[in-house]
Chain A
Amino acid sequence: MQPILRVAGLTKSFIVHAHGDLALPVLKDVALAVSPGECLALVGPSGAGKSTLLRSLYGNYRADKGSIRVRHGEGWTELVGAEPRTVLDIRRRTIGFVSQFLRVIPRVATLDVVAEPLIGLGASQQEARDRAEFLLALLNVPQRLWALPPATFSGGEQQRVNIARSLIVDYPILLLDEPTASLDAGNRDRVIEMIAERRNAGSAIVGIFHDIGVRDLLANRVHEVVPGGVA
């Protein structure tokens, strides 16, 4: 199978101006490729730059140099240095991201938080809400919570809302940052099942999974991230 995501020479450092322009090199010349149906686990010690790499793949962090090419629609699109509207279009249609924490939007009901990405793709309100209800039920988020904004939910509930929001669109590429970190065993198994289903259906997945059991169940390959990019 041909890759759907190709990374080459990816280099990223942070410059902290408040501390005498201190340079913190994080990624150096990272290369990887992921194909549909594959799940690549990023591994390495805490602080090695796994999250930085994952966020760079989403266009959230800006690479210093290198290339992140994504199969987007009919052709390939370069994410490094892309125009904001190009990045947004890639996020709308091609790449989904499950972060560790939900960014809560004041006053917006859980059901609408989950439904939003599908509406952004042109689905009707009804269609998107039906799908959101289905996912929330599958993830054991109690129905009495659906009309409430998730601000007051527990960590595990918020994470499941977040997962539902990211899985409501069938993204060809999924980026996962510790998708099961604050879940109990039952919910963790359900989430693993749902992600495996996406992988088997042909999504390309890149993820950070600290739980080795989760990693073994989902990943086909690992990519080692080296601290400071120095091998």
Chain B
Amino acid sequence: MQKHWWKVLSVLLIAYSIIAGFLGDVPARDILNESIRNLYFHVSMWFAMITMMTISLVYSIKYLAGYKRPFDNRANLFAEMGLVFSFLGIVTGALWAKFTWGAFWTNDPKLNGTAITILIYLAYFILRGSMDDQDKKARIAAVYNIFAFVLMIVFIGILPRITDSLHPGNGGNPGFNQYDMDSSMRQVFYPAVLGWILFGVWVAGIRYRINTSKERIETWKNDILNQLH
């Protein structure tokens, strides 16, 4: 039970962020109005996504350092989790944009950054699928993961600074302090981010156990078949 406290914490934090996110007080801002509550759900998706991608990057580096298969498996699963969060972020953002900007999609550096991130990671999964040899697949995918992650950070971290954007918190600086947040919102926002990150790690862990169990069942099956023949 001691190992599971953070899973309970994750559920509690998410539940708290949903309840406090809808019922709590928010500062009245022009244009944003009540839609500012979306920050709790939309922006925390991006924080969770970047964290998942970073964990995936770390596992890719670890894989290249020692060629241990479990690291590659985890890198793959965390990239998948990151992609899930990016889709959730796109949906929550698009719904918000429809009511605030009047369109689901606009030509904005942040939106382009998301689209690129999704394309890059979809290409990562296609790259993995295109090779049969497990060790070669792991090695090449790790190299691509590292290369793509760095370029993605350039794209979503640096490019918005030299171009303009409609996005809240922008106007030359995508920095997080520029958000129209006050301390009462931070009390909900940070727990939401932490909750979703823990939730992502949890799901990736479960998927890892499912994957390794499947592989083990395959090898057992093959062993039994070999003995029968």
Whether A and B are associated in the same complex: the answer reads no
Which residues of B line the A interface, CB within 8 A?
none
Which residues of A line the B interface, CB within 8 A?
none
